[in-house]
Amino acid sequence: MTTKCFNPYEMAQEQFDNIADKLGLEEPAKELLRTPMREYHFNIPIKMDDGKVKVFKGFRIQHNDARGPCKGGIRFHPQETADCVKALSMWMTWKCAVADIPLGGGKGGVICDPHNLSQREQEALCRGWIRQIVRDIGLSKDIPAPDVMTNAQHMLWMMDEYETIAGSKNPGVITGKPVGMGGSLGRTEATGYGVVFVLREAMKELGMEPGKTTASVQGFGNVAQYAIELFNQMGGKVKVVSCWSQKENKAVALRKENGIDLRELQPITNRFGDIDIRKAQDLGYEILDGDKWLEEDVDVLIPAALENSITVENADRVAKSVKIIVEGANGPTTPEADDMLTKRGVMLIPDFLANAGGVICSYFEQVQSNMNYYWTKEEVLGKLDDKMTSAFYAVLDLSKRKKVNMRDAAYMIAISRVADACRLRGWI
Ligand code: NAD
């Protein structure tokens, strides 16, 4: 999402303006919702391992908290910008609203490259970030989580710093913690399984039998692997997966007519989701160019790797057999490509509905941490299924009633819910 003149915040605002007009939203609501309610920009001075002090730039943006405390990740990235964090905080508001969880949208970040920081320096940065924002986050205000280049260890350091300053235990202040230290079972599976929960319902709607359904998947990371696992359990067959190959320095697709075998590919995949191509070839996989995943003659496409994958340039190469596209990744389909595919009759389940499993499970983690009582994995995944399924039907029903595509319907529901909360509170 970082081409020369691409500004994600402008895109988020354009999307909002478009739906606000369709909803006939009043001016004060538009003005309030098209920008964040609060922005915190701060310096984090860190004593580096060589004894010198380096000052890092940190952010926390709280887009809207009318439906509940803000929720959203913290990114550590060298190219982080305030505009990117603002856009992401806005999208979090809509994602929590469409999933109907009582949370608002937030996002945070630090401009840094963790590859060039020692563990001690990263710990200092996590603790420094909390010290700057401690007054403005908390169980009832804003609950951060991991995102790009931050993980469970970073969350634990942040939780510890918060608790040290507060002088009390507050595990619900942050999510994405390790299981056993306040984390939730089921979080690892949540996004990929959530993708397939909504896919299952879409197949019911279209009268498709999962056992006779084929799919092609872009990506073989966390989201893709768990989506494939559950799709296989339902009897579906994945014919193609694609991934980035570090060795080849390009994207590749792996094809097996009888269906790829998750259990044989996982041991030859690294932690970044890159499959060892030579070993896959030895296992009988056909190796194709990376973009071939999209041309496969299948019923379902699951883009679960990165943004901007299905565009006007390649949307006409999507096979005629494809009936459903379920967006596991964020922003994999451009709006123009979305229009082209919708006109062809493809049901496209948009990212902020399809991949909401992660934030729903983060909400469950927060609830469990606050109760200090933890559910079994089955309980977590059962509750996740209920939430994803009802969110899917709310969007499907509105898309039929208003004769709009699923993405517009999802936005309409999310924005209406947040605007209603603002009105009920008497803000507008
Ligand atoms: P990941 O890093 O675990 O895996 C990414 C996968 O994409 C890897 O298999 C990588 O090889 C592949 N890939 C990278 N470039 C590619 C290319 N050009 N062509 C084909 N494959 C390529 O990431 P993830 O956690 O699975 O996330 C995937 C997407 O889902 C991202 O857009 C992420 O923002 C989104 N998402 C993830 C979660 C979550 O809980 N993990 C939640 C919501 C949204």
pLDDT in tens, the chain (428 residues): 444 456 889 989 999 999 999 999 999 999 999 999 999 999 999 999 999 999 999 999 999 999 999 999 999 999 999 999 999 999 999 999 999 999 999 999 999 999 999 999 999 999 999 999 999 999 999 999 999 899 999 999 999 999 999 999 999 999 999 999 999 999 999 999 999 999 999 999 999 999 999 999 999 999 999 999 999 999 999 999 999 998 889 999 999 999 999 999 999 999 889 999 999 999 999 999 999 999 999 999 999 998 889 999 999 999 999 999 999 998 899 888 999 999 999 999 999 999 999 999 999 999 999 999 999 999 999 999 999 999 999 999 999 999 999 999 999 999 999 999 999 999 99
SS3 annotation, 253-267? EEECCCCCCHHHHHH
Q: Which of 107, 149, 222, 289 to mutate to test the pocket of ligand 1 (most atoms within 8 A of CB)?
A: 222
Report how far ligand 1's centroid is from the alpha carbon of 219 (Å): 6
Kindly tell me the number of DSSP H helices and DSSP E strands found in the chain. Answer: 14, 12
- Which one of 86, 107, 256, 292 is the catalytic residue? 107
409 SS3 class: helix
Give the separation between CA 343 and CA 347, rounded to whole angstroms: 10
CA–centroid distance, 220 to ligand 1, in Å, is 7
Residues 6+ apart with CB under 8 A from 390: 100
* 38 DSSP β-pair partners: 62
Pocket of ligand 1 from Cβ distances under 6 Å? 191, 218-224, 242-244, 251, 272-274, 290, 304-306, 328-330, 355, 358
Look at ligand 1, atom 21, and give the residue with the nearest C-alpha.
Answer: 243
Q: Are strands 347-349 and 324-326 parallel, antiparallel or unpaired?
A: parallel
Q: Can you give the pTM of this predicted structure? A: 0.95
pLDDT of residue 7: 84
Active site residue 239: no
Nearest CA to ligand 1 atom 4: 221
Distance 191 CA to ligand 1 centre (A): 11
Pocket-testing residue among 151, 216, 218, 223, ligand 1, by greatest number of atoms within 8 A of Cβ: 223
Determine which residue's CA is closest to atom 32 belonging to ligand 1. 329
Distance in Å, CA 292 to ligand 1 centroid: 17
Dist. CA 299 → ligand 1 center (Å): 21
Assigned token pair, 232:
């296989």
- CA distance linking residue 159 with residue 279, whole number of Å: 41
Predicted pLDDT of residue 2: 41
**What's the pLDDT at 184?**
98
